[in-house]
Amino acid sequence: MHSFLTVIGSLATLSSITLAAPLKARQDDPQCIDGLKKIFMPEMHNIYIYEDVPEFPSTSTILNVMNGSSSNSVQDQVAVWSNIPSTATQCSLGWAVTEDRSFSVYDNGLIRFFELSGVPPAGTNITAETIAPFMEEGAKNASIDFTFWAEQTGAHTHGGGLVDCKSEMAFYLTKDMVSGGPGSVTLEQNAQNGLFLAIDC
Ligand SMILES: *[C@@H]1O[C@H](CO)[C@@H](O)[C@H](O)[C@H]1NC(C)=O
Ligand SMILES: *[C@@H]1O[C@H](CO)[C@@H](O)[C@H](O)[C@H]1NC(C)=O
Ligand SMILES: *[C@@H]1O[C@H](CO)[C@@H](O)[C@H](O)[C@H]1NC(C)=O
């Protein structure tokens, strides 16, 4: 009887530790649902492209890609997912929003992504210059369309395309000016909103 109560006691302690764990730790290991894990909140690096202004590195939680009609308003981004388990053999990009989100699309919302062949070594600032060696011809690329979706209330989830599984995966995101046109996409990312990497589990 006594040891039974001790077990109950330690279970209660364990579960309160689990509940007290920081939110971030739980998002890092999302649940496996129907054989898929969706990993939200990639590390986002802004790539500002302003004429005659030297590049400065910056990161963000917001998916924010634009190319307006003037050359002064271009922003690309690099999204990085790290520590992908080697057991993942099927990987794809997608995006989702819940009812409660901060999301806007101005004009055309077509974004093209290119899978980078790697990421610069830790400690290197991510800029157009440092990622250039990782942009290879023939890279996996596809467009994801956010146009008109900001006005659609409620939760919705969208597939984006298959990518190659690697332990560190990085994608260059840019406004698609060929199939799309000028515009911008702004989406605040958290555990349920924004880009996700779906892996088999
Ligand atoms: C922005 O769009 C213009 C065409 O409107 C294009 O020439 C330019 O390359 C684009 N910039 C980037 C960085 O994609
Ligand atoms: C990274 O960028 C910061 C801010 O511009 C700069 O101070 C720092 O020297 C850069 N680091 C490297 C390794 O280039
Ligand atoms: C984009 O993907 C196509 C195949 O779908 C490929 O032919 C093309 O080279 C890729 N573009 C780049 C810039 O890697």
Q: How far is the CA of 19 from the centre of ligand 3 (A)?
A: 45
* CA-closest residue to ligand 3 atom 7: 138
> Taking the CB of residue 181, how many other CB atoms lie within 10 A of it?
15
Diameter of the chain measured on Cα atoms = 76
Under 8 Å between Cβ of 169 and 84: yes
Is the confidence at residue 18, as pLDDT, over 80? Answer: no
Under 8 Å between Cβ of 144 and 194: no
Please state which of the ranges 23-37, 40-54, 155-169, 178-192 shows the lowest mean pLDDT.
23-37
Task: State the burial class of residue 80 (Cβ atoms within 10 Å of its Cβ: 0-12, 13-18, 19+).
Answer: middle
CA 16 to chain centre: 30
* CA-closest residue to ligand 2 atom 1: 125
pLDDT, averaged across the chain: 86
**Residues at CB less than 6 angstroms from ligand 3:** 114, 137-139, 141
**pLDDT-derived band at 50, boundaries 50, 70, 90:** confident
Q: Which atom of ligand 2 is nearest to the CA of 123?
A: 13
Q: CA 116 to CA 61: how far, in whole Å? A: 20
Q: Which ligand is nearest to the CA of 51?
A: 1
CB-hemisphere CA count at 13 Å for 4? 1
Under 8 Å between Cβ of 184 and 29: no
DSSP 174: E
* CA-closest residue to ligand 1 atom 6: 177
Q: Which ligand is nearest to the CA of 54?
A: 2
29 vs 176, higher pLDDT: 176
> Taking the CB of residue 53, how many other CB atoms lie within 10 A of it?
9
Q: CA 73 to CA 107: how far, in whole Å? A: 14
pTM as predicted: 0.86
Q: What is the pLDDT of residues 65-101, one digit of tens each?
A: 999 876 667 999 999 999 999 999 999 999 999 999 9
Q: How far is the CA of 67 from the centre of ligand 1 (A)?
A: 6
* CA-closest residue to ligand 2 atom 3: 57
